[in-house]
Amino acid sequence: MIFLVFIISVLYLMLIMVFIFGFYKSDVVKNKKITPKNRFSIVIPFRNEAHNLPNLLQSLSEINYPTDFFEILLVNDDSEDNFIEIIKEFIRQNPNLNLRHLQNIRKTESPKKDALNTAIKLSNFEWIVTTDADCLVPKLWLHLFNQFIEEKQPVFISAPVKFSLQNSLLYHFQNLNFISLIGSTIGGFGIENPFMCNGANLCYRKAIFFELNGFEGNVEIASGDDIFLMEKMIKAYPKKVKFLKSDEVIVETKAENSWKLFLHQQIRWASKSASYKIYFVKFVGLCVFSENLMVLILGVFTLLFPQFWIYFILIFVAKAIVDFIIIAQTSFFLKNTKSLKHYLIISFLHPFFIVFTGCLSAFKSYEWKGRSFRK
C-alpha cells in the first residue's frame, strides 16, 4: 500500500509542479491602448437573477470601448422574477448601449447551451464574449480582448475569473478551491496543454463556432458549454486556443451562499468529466481524486496503526506545500489573498470534500438554477 501511495503522490506532486512552472511561463498581458478594431457580441444567459442584474448591468455600462463596436444580448431562460422591469429601466437610462433582451429557445437537455445558441444565431458581430449574470466585468475587458486578438490571432480565448470578497468559512473554502482551479488552468495553458476554462470569461470567433457545429455532440449534458467547446477548438485549431493572463480582464463572480449549493455545483462540475475527450483532463481529475483519497486512507491507517504516522506527515506536508505555492501565486495575480490565512485548516478539510463530491458525482443528480438534472 505504501508503494501505491508513494507512486500516486509523486505523480500528483509532479503534476502540480508542472502547473506552477506553466503559470510562471505564461506571460502577463498589459493594456497597450491600441485602436479598437474588433467587434463583440456579449452573450449572457440568465434565470431568476433579478438580484444580480443591476450590478451586472452597471458594470456593462462602464465598459470602456466604442459603443458601436459591441452589443449586449441578455437571454432569459424562463425566469420567474421581476427581471423585465430591471432591464427596461436600464435601457431607458442607457439609450446609447446596444442591448437586446431575448427569450431562450429550448431544443435540448441543456438550457444554457440553448440560450447561448439562441443569442449567437442572432448576434451581429464577429466575436462572441460570454459571462454570467452574477458577474461583474472590468472596464478594459473588450480593449484587452481586442489587443490580444490583434497580437495573437486566436480563435478561442480563456480569461481569468475570481470570487468577490466575502468573509466566512464557506467562502474561504470555496475561494481557495476555485483559486487552485484558476491556477491550474493558467498552468495548463502555460505548458501548451490547456484542459480547463470558465464560461464566465470566454471569447471566441463566431465563424469558428458555427464551423465546428457549436455545442453539437454534448447537448445531452446540462453544463459544460465552456470546456466541451474548448475541446472542439483545440482539436481543430490547437495553436489558436489561448489564455489571456491579465489582471485588467478579470471577471468577478459570486461564491455559492450555502454548502448545499456549493456541493451541487461541485457535483455538476465533476459529473461531466467522464464525457471529456481530452485525455489530459481525465488524467488530472483522476490524479487529484486519487491523491486526496490516498491522504484520507493513510490518515485512517495512521489512527489504527501509529507506525504509519511518518508516511502520513510526509505525504500531507508535501501536498500542502505544492498546493499552497500554486494557490498563493494565483491569489497574488488575482489580487485576492484574504483566504490564504485560512489555508492550513482548509487543507485538512479539502480531501474529505474532494473524495465525497467525486463519489457522489458518479451517481447523484444535481440541482442548478432551480432545476434538477440527472448525471
Read off the pLDDT of residues 157-190 as tens digits, 9 standing for 90 and up.
Answer: 999 999 999 989 999 999 999 999 999 999 999 9
Q: What is the pTM of this model?
A: 0.91
Long-range contacts of the stretch 364-369 (C-beta < 8 A, 24+) = 364/267, 366/264, 366/267, 366/268, 366/271, 367/261, 367/264, 368/222, 368/223, 368/264, 368/265, 368/268, 369/47, 369/48, 369/77, 369/111
Tell me which residue of 196, 223, 231 sits closest to 374, measured CA to CA.
Answer: 223
Name residue, grid cell 459544460.
224
Predicted local distance difference test score (pLDDT) of residue 368: 58
Q: Are strands 40-46 and 70-76 parallel, antiparallel or unpaired?
A: parallel
Predicted local distance difference test score (pLDDT) of residue 111: 87
Predicted local distance difference test score (pLDDT) of residue 42: 98
Instruction: From the options 2.50.20.10, 3.40.190.80, 3.90.550.10, 3.50.50.60, give the CATH code of 29-263.
Output: 3.90.550.10
Q: What residues does each domain of the chain span? A: 2-22+278-358, 29-263
- pLDDT < 50: residue spans in the chain: none
Name every residue whose Cβ is closer than 8 Å to that of residue 156 and which is 6 or more positions away in sequence: 202, 203, 204, 205, 208, 229, 230, 233, 237, 240, 241, 242
Q: Give the three-class secondary structure for 217.
A: coil
Q: Give the three-class secondary structure for 222.
A: coil
